[in-house]
């Protein structure tokens, strides 16, 4: 089963910058889609290796549903859903919601950059000067160097806790302070600094949870409302929300997560109180809007949230090629930014090139990482991405 939208026809304006784009017709785009769907290949293959069909790979990997949005020439060229939200359930469509998992982080980072741009935050100040409800615990590492927002956003603050498992339906949900302290009923260890801040990259969802508390303390707003106001609504991400758990009315339109053998995750989607790190519900089309807006700002075109200097800060590659919320690689004119996301039963990826091409792929199965990589290879071949 599938549902689709094609968002650019002949002469249609760009979704991001208002410029006229390619003259591809709907039949041209449909032919491209079909080549993508029949051209799946592993990231590392060999000459003459046969390509696979998307439906075949979904069955083999026990991934019930996939949603794809493709960006071309600075606009969303097409968005389409495949498979089902759950066994016997409704078809996946372009508006079906998925947990973004760690792709929540760059959206959070954009809000931080917007507040810094407005003079409300200093990216290089001691975060404890902003935190009120909780403080980064002092120790021999923080005595020598204070933790900053720039370090937290770039995973170089020396903070612990790589990622979060979430909470099954019916489980007690900890407060944010309990998560930070690693105290019951939180299922993570305490978030502390256990190596010198600023010296090396180490991925830390715990660091983004500190950012979440800081934004709440500085603005006095619930995190989900703040992100809706500062990023989601201005960028037209109308299907996106940081509300955890997802309200029942929205859950009707969401993909359900599945484990590696294709069975449903018990109780449905896990709840993630670690909103900044893992809590976003969204669609590939909405994430494509995020990417296009960031590409606009990077290029000096107007966008509602960030100026060009702020976007350049966000997209300046640092330790291990990580900027402020995104992985940034390549050199002009083929620079690109990307991020992956893994929650229980959801695996996703997004990538965008400064030239205005890219894609977002979201899945509701624990073997989605293999499928996402194969889909991205097919898209890259069809759209002749530079690498």
pLDDT per position as a tens digit, 93-112: 999 999 999 999 999 999 99
Please answer whether residues 299 and 252 qualify as being in contact, where contact means their C-beta atoms are separated by less than 8 angstroms. Answer: no
The Cα 98–Cα 29 span in angstroms is 25
User: Could you tell me if residue 383 is inside a domain?
Assistant: no
- Classify each residue of 115-148 as buried b or exposed e, where b means 16 or more C-beta atoms within 10 Å of its C-beta: bbbeeebebeeebbebbeebebeeeebbeebbbb
How high is the pLDDT of residue 23? 56
User: Could you tell me if residue 292 is inside a domain?
Assistant: no
Residue 103's domain comprises 97-282+298-322
User: Could you tell me if residue 232 is inside a domain?
Assistant: yes
> Is 137 in the same domain as 255?
yes
The Cα 290–Cα 287 span in angstroms is 5
| 69 burial via Cβ count (<10 Å: 0-12, 13-18, 19+) | buried
> Is 140 in the same domain as 120?
yes
Residues of the chain with pLDDT under 50: 1-3, 5-21
How high is the pLDDT of residue 46? 62
> Is 30 in the same domain as 111?
no
How high is the pLDDT of residue 3? 43
User: Could you tell me if residue 104 is inside a domain?
Assistant: yes
How high is the pLDDT of residue 42? 85
> Is 47 in the same domain as 155?
no
The Cα 387–Cα 380 span in angstroms is 8
Where residue 224 sits, what CATH number does that domain have? 3.40.710.10
User: Could you tell me if residue 343 is inside a domain?
Assistant: no
| 93 burial via Cβ count (<10 Å: 0-12, 13-18, 19+) | buried
What pTM was computed for the model? Answer: 0.93
The domain tally of the chain equals 2
User: Could you tell me if residue 382 is inside a domain?
Assistant: no
> Is 102 in the same domain as 81?
no
> Is 33 in the same domain as 51?
yes
User: Could you tell me if residue 360 is inside a domain?
Assistant: no
> Is 102 in the same domain as 89?
no
> Is 149 in the same domain as 122?
yes
User: Could you tell me if residue 352 is inside a domain?
Assistant: no
Domain boundary among 271, 290, 322: 322
> Is 222 in the same domain as 265?
yes
> Is 199 in the same domain as 89?
no
> Is 217 in the same domain as 266?
yes
> Is 56 in the same domain as 150?
no
Q: Could you write out the DSSP letters of every residue in 296-309?
A: HHHHT---SS--HH
How high is the pLDDT of residue 45? 64
């Amino acid at each position: 089963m599938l549902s689709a939208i094609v968002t650019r026809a002949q002469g249609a304006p760009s979704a991001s910058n208002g410029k006229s784009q390619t003259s591809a017709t709907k039949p041209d785009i449909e032919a491209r889609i079909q080549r993508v769907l029949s051209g799946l290949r592993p990231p590392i293959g060999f000459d003459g290796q046969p390509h696979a069909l998307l439906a075949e790979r979904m069955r083999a990997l026990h991934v019930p549903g996939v949603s794809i949005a493709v960006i071309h020439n600075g606009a969303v060229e097409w968005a389409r859903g495949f498979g089902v939200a759950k066994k016997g359930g409704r078809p996946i469509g372009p508006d079906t919601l998925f947990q973004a998992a760690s792709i929540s982080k760059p959206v959070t980072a954009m809000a931080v950059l917007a507040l810094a741009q407005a003079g409300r935050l200093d990216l290089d100040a001691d975060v404890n000067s902003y935190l009120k409800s909780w403080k980064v615990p002092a120790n021999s590492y923080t005595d020598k160097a204070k933790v900053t927002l720039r370090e937290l956003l770039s995973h170089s603050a020396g903070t612990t806790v790589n990622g979060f498992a979430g909470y099954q339906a019916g489980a007690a949900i900890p407060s944010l302070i309990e998560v930070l302290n690693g105290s019951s009923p939180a299922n993570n260890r305490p978030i502390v600094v256990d190596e010198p801040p600023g010296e090396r990259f180490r991925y830390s969802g715990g660091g983004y949870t500190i950012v979440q508390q800081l934004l709440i303390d500085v603005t006095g707003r619930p995190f989900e409302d703040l992100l809706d106001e500062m990023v989601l609504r201005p960028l037209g991400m109308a299907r996106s929300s940081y509300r955890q758990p997802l309200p029942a009315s929205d859950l009707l339109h969401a993909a359900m997560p599945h484990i590696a053998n294709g069975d449903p995750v018990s109780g449905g989607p896990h709840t993630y109180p670690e909103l900044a790190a893992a809590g976003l519900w969204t669609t590939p089309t909405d994430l494509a809007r995020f990417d296009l807006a960031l590409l606009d700002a990077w290029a000096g075109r107007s966008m509602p949230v960030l100026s060009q200097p702020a976007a350049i800060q966000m997209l300046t590659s640092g330790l291990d090629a990580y900027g402020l919320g995104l992985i940034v690689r390549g050199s002009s004119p083929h620079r690109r930014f990307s991020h992956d996301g893994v929650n229980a039963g959801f695996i996703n990826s997004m990538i965008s090139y400064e030239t205005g091409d890219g894609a977002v792929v979201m899945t509701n199965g624990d073997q989605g990482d293999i499928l996402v990589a194969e889909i991205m290879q097919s898209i890259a071949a069809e759209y002749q991405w530079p690498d």
